[in-house]
Structure 1
Amino acid sequence: MVNADFQHRWVTAFQRTIGNPVARRLPIQTLLETTGRVSGQARRTPLGGARRGDSFWFVSEFGTRSQYIRNIQADNRVRVRLRGHWYTGTAHLLPEDDAKARMRELPRANSAVVGAVGTDLLTVRVDLDTGRA
């Protein structure tokens, strides 16, 4: 069994140096933009999830250990890029939600990766403002 701290360090190092820089450049990749809680700069994180009506749902693989989740805790106003279009919204952390059940409603490929590498799953709902950013 892999130690959760080691797994977190390994996965986040891969994401930071290889995965995220490549994924951010893909025009179809969904992106979450938060405001850095220390820097105040825009931080863009590639992720997977699904829009349901006026909400966008996703599951964070490392919960409150994820930097973008910490940014949301400091300022929950975010932007989400869906299919090449930016939307503003308000993010809500939902620790009471069954993240594993939620992943069954989200895109399979992303949910499989999140489920395989995640150690502290956390559901997030972004209530999208009407119109685009």
Structure 2
Amino acid sequence: MSRHAERKYRAVTAVQRRIGNPVLRRLPFQTLLETTGRVSGLPRRTPLGGRRVGDAFWLVSEFGERSQYVRNIRANPRVRVRIRGRWHTGTAHPLPDDDPLARLRTLPRGNSLAVRVMGAELLTVRVDLDDRGGLRPA
């Protein structure tokens, strides 16, 4: 990672961890990805953007393999995704061979723009959803 990309990563993740994520997690219709912490074993909820297409939820990680939720997925791909206030279980698959810029063009514009501007090592992730209707809010 270049020096510029490293500085960008540190700045963006600091703001997300301290300000953005704590606020966004509380919004009832914010999309959340819940992974299991690879060290703690505790649920970790990350606000993000993406789109459900059929029985899959698609997203692009702005820092790819460096994103904590991607590292958690690598350790345990079983996840939950809250979409429009309803939880869905699934299995997440990082897709390094997918073109993340092309994928962003199929996802919600606002989030896609933020990912392009703030990101440095984009990575597509697909979550294959197990259930059709979703679980009750937790």
TM over 0.5: yes
- After superposing on structure 2, the runs of 4+ consecutive aligned residues of structure 1 that deviate more than 3 Å are none
Specify the alignment match of 1:100 in structure 2: 101
Q: Which runs of 5+ in 1 are unaligned?
A: none
CA distance in 1, matches of 2:3, 2:62: 15
Offset, 1:130: 1.9
CA offsets 1:97-118 (integer angstroms, 9 cap, x no match)? 0000000000000000000010
Amino acid at match of 2:55: D
Amino acid at match of 2:63: F
Offset, 1:23: 0.3
CA distance in 2, matches of 1:74, 1:6: 26
Specify the alignment match of 1:3 in structure 2: 4
CA distance in 1, matches of 2:7, 2:36: 27
CA offsets 1:23-65 (integer angstroms, 9 cap, x no match)? 0000110000000000000000000000000000000000010
Specify the alignment match of 1:46 in structure 2: 47
Offset, 1:2: 7.2
The TM-score normalised by the length of structure 1 is 0.98
CA offsets 1:75-133 (integer angstroms, 9 cap, x no match)? 00000000000000000010000000000000000000000010000000000002423
Helix, strand or coil for the counterpart of 1:3? Answer: helix
The TM-score normalised by the length of structure 2 is 0.94
- Which range is displaced more, 38-47 or 2-11? 2-11
CA distance in 2, matches of 1:2, 1:19: 24
- Which range is displaced more, 122-131 or 15-24? 122-131
Q: Which runs of 5+ in 2 are unaligned?
A: none
Amino acid at match of 1:104: R
Helix, strand or coil for the counterpart of 1:26? Answer: coil
Mapping for residues 24-39 of structure 1, pairs under 5 Å: 24-39=25-40
Identity %: 67
